[in-house]
Every structure is written in structure tokens, then in C-alpha cells.
Amino acid sequence: MEEALHESCCYSDGASKLNDAAVAGLLEFLRIDVELEPACADREETSCSKNVTRKQRNWERNLEVKRRKRKEEKQRKKLNRLNKDVNERQLSKRVIKAITKERLEEARAAGLRLCVDLSMTDRLTDKEISRLAGQIRRLYGSNKKSLQPFHVFLTEFKEDSLLYKECVRMNEGFLNYLIDVTEESWFHLFPSEDVIYLTPDASEALEYVEEDKVYILGGLVDETIQKKISFTRAKEFGIRMARLPIDEYMVKKPNPKNFHSKILAINQVFEILLTFRDTKDWTKALVAGIPPGKGYMLASAASTDVINSQEEM
């Protein structure tokens, strides 16, 4: 029994020593783990901080790249838009110029003929010569814009004349005008039966603009004091004469100076012929070419004024 007790004590001591060793080992392990945990935490925090910093930098870099791309795209679109506008304007200008040239060339080949008779410029003052050069420029400008331009002639137009020098000086590109310029007289260029000389002193009113006729405008200006110059010249050649139908469609308009004139500049007469050719309406044509300052108004408008005045009374 003593032996059994001794063995039991020995076993208890061994178990106790074993338990102590196990506890000591566990404590040591826990101590090591506790000591290591802060280091791990530090490393994780440092690693996390680096990740955040790296992501921040990447985000900022990407944002900057996007901003730069947007700016470049905006500049590229603006540049393309400017280039497109310039190209369209240039193309439009070229196309319009080409179309205008084609129309004028077609008119020179088979268009309705109109001639400015410049045989009477010796009767004009230097100031009137300059005015006439300006009227030729405006006449040509109207013809260029027309969908149905005339074949325009300038006859008895001498290169050594003051008028020629004034046309070159005042009218840019005059030497390239798509018109026929000649020192010959219209009387030698066209059959007399085809010619109609337009003069305000004629008794016959022009009813139609005929395609097979040649219309002559006297190269005079409305300041010219001498009367019936173009009428006298046409009569000398025995040429048919006609006037614009102002008396048939218009009446004198009351004005303080009691001024009324049917004498028009050549570009104004030409504007009337162009408009009538397009519209076949003399009221529209006369309104388009006769300035209000000439002292005339449409008869239809005058009738309306009279009716309105009667109603007010």
C-alpha cells in the first residue's frame, strides 16, 4: 500500500511538473504573441497608408490626364470648326464666282442685249464723267447678281478718254468685267430694225422687253442740263424710240419743292429692265428703279391715299 501511495505521489508530482511546464510554455507563447501583435499592426498600418497614398496619386494622375484630354479635345473641335467655317466660306465664294461667270458668259453668247451709248460724253463735265463711271459700276453689279443677266455693251468707249481712266480708277477689276467694250458705234454693230433707243422724251411707251431686240441707253447722267440729247441722236439715225411707262403707272407726288423728274441714271433704268424681265410687272419694276426723290408714286398707291383721306373726313 505504501508502494501504491508512493507511486501515486510520484505520479501527482510528475503531473504537476508537467502541468507547470505546459502552463509555462503556453504563457511564453502568449507572451511572444502579445509582443508580436503591435509590430504586425504597425506593418499593416504602414502598408495601408502606402496603399492609400498610391491610390490617391493614381487618382490624381488619372484626373489630370482626363482634364488634359478634355482640354485637347475642346481645342481640336474649336480648330476643326474654324477650319470648316473658313473652308465653307472659301468654297462658297468660289462656287458663287464660278456660277456668276458662267451666267455672264452665257448671256454674252445668247442673252438679251443692252448697250450704253458713250458717244455723248464730250457734253459732260468732269464731275459728270465721274458720276457716269460710278453708274457703270452699279449697272454691272446689278447684272452680276441677276439670274438672267443681259449681254452688256459699252460702245464708242475710247481708251484714251477721261471716262475710261475714271472707270479703271474707280471700279476695281474693271478690266476684267464680262462685258463687250468697243470703240465702234452701236449703229454699226446692230441692225437698225433690232434697236430700241430708250429716252424719256419718246412718245411711245415701252410695253414689253423683247428678247430679240437691242436696248440702247444714252450715256448721260441726270445732272445733265441739256435736253433731248439722246432723243435727237436716235432721231438722226431713224431708230425706234421708247420711254419707260412712268406716266401709265405713276403719278406726281406732292412735295414741298414741287420737283418731279423722269430722267434716270443708266443703272436705275437698267434695274427697271432687269426687274420687269423677271416679274413681268411694271409696277414692281418702276418701284425697284425709281427713287422716291424723283417725285413720283404708283397710281394705285395714290388712289389708296385718296380713299383713306376721304374715309377720315
Domain CATH code at residue 279:
3.40.1280.30
- Segment 126-166, tens digit of pLDDT: 999 999 999 999 999 999 999 899 999 999 999 999 999 99
Mean pLDDT of all residues in the chain? 81
User: Do 173 and 197 reside in the same domain of the chain?
Assistant: yes
Residues 259 and 150 in one domain: yes
For 48, 216, 239, 242, the CA distances from 193, given in Å and listed in that order, are 108, 13, 8, 14
Enclosing domain of residue 72: 51-103
Q: Which pLDDT belongs to residue 176?
A: 93
Counted domains in the chain = 2
Residue 60: its pLDDT value, please?
79
Q: Are residues 73 and 216 in the same domain?
A: no
Residue 236 placed within a domain: yes
Beta carbons of 286 and 205 less than 8 angstroms apart: no
Q: Both 246 and 274 in a single domain?
A: yes
Which of 68, 85, 103 is the last residue before a domain boundary?
A: 103
CA angle 116–105–285, rounded 5-degree value: 50
Claim to verify: residue 87 and residue 139 sit in the same structural domain: no
pLDDT digits (tens, 9 = 90+) for 190-199: 999 999 999 9
